Amino acid sequence: MHDSRANPNEAPACPGPLEIQQHLPTRFKVPRGAVDTHCHVIGLPPEYPFVAGRAYTPPAASARDYLAMLDATGMTYGVLTQVSVHGTDNRLMVETLRAHRQRLRGIAVIPLDCPEREKAALKDAGVVGLRMNVLYGGGGVDFTQIENYGALCRDMGWHLQFLLDARDLPSLAPRLSKLPVPFLVDHIGHFPTSAGIDNEGFQTLVSLVRDGAWVRLSGAYRNTVEGPPYRDTIPFARKVVEAAPNRCVWGSDWPHVANWGVMMGVADLLDLLADWVPDEKLRNRILVDNPQRLFGFPAVT
C-alpha cells in the first residue's frame, strides 16, 4: 500500500489499512456469492486531485490492493463507493469498474447538472446508484437536493445512498419516505453507541428500514465508544436486522479512511458479523442474496 500523501497540512493525514495479509474470518465460512458492498479506491494528486475542504488526507488505495483484499476475505463480488476526497471526479472508480465488469459495481457522486452522456457512461461502467454524503466533506453534494437526486436516480434506474448521522433522521424522514427509488442508510446510521438504542434518530432509522429502506451493516469502528471488539454495536445491528432482514447488506468500508483509532483487518469485521447476525441462514442472506438483488449481481451456481 503506497502511503504518499499530498498536501497533508490541508487536512489531517489518516492511516491506511493494516500492512498485513488479509485473511478469511475465523468464526464462519464466507458463502459463495458473498458481496462486500462498501469499499473505496483512492488515487493521488496530481493525477487524481483531492477536493479542498476535505476532512482528511488519505494514502492511496489501489485497485490491485482492493481486489487482493476481496480475494483474501472470500468475497465473490465487490461494490466501490466514490470516496469523498475525490468529490465528483469518479474517474478512478470508473476505471476500476470497467476493468472488472463481471465482479464489481459502483456508487457514484455526481452534480445534478451532470451531462447525459456522462451519466450514460457511468451506467455502462457498472454504476448502479448515487451517494449523498454530508460527512467528511462529501464532495459538494448536500441534502437540499434530495428530491432532485431521487428523480435523477429514478430516470437512470439507480438507487440512492446516504452517509449521515442518524440523529438527523427525524427531520429528514418525511422526505426520504417519499423518494421514488430504493434508498440505503450507511454504517447503521453512523452515530455513537453512547447515544443509546432508544435515541430518536436511531428509532427513526429502524422505522424507515421497517417501512422499506435498506441499511448497511458496517462502520462498527466509527460508531463504537468502547473500541475493539465493538461489542457495544451488537444491539444496534441486531435491531435493524430484526426490522428488515431482507434489506440489510454488509460492507467492510476498506481501506477504513478517517480512522485514527485502532486499525482492524477485514476479517475482524467479518467475525463481528457473527455476533451481529448469529443465524447462519440469515447471515448468508445478508452477505449474498440481499446485495445481489440490490446491486444487480448474478447468482453464483
Annotated active-site positions, please? 253
Amino acid letter for position 255:
P
Residue 235 CA to its chain's centroid (Å) = 20
The cell numbers describing 8, all together, are 497533508
Question: Judging by beta carbons within 10 Å of its beta carbon (0-12, 13-18, 19+), is residue 192 exposed, middle or buried?
Answer: middle
> What is the distance between the terminal CA atoms of the chain, rounded to a whole angstrom?
34
Q: Which secondary-structure segment (H or E) carries 183?
A: strand 183-185
User: Cβ of 48: how many Cβ atoms within 10 Å?
Assistant: 18
Q: Nearest CA to 74 among 284, 297, 294?
A: 284
Look-up: residue for cell 457473527?
A: 274
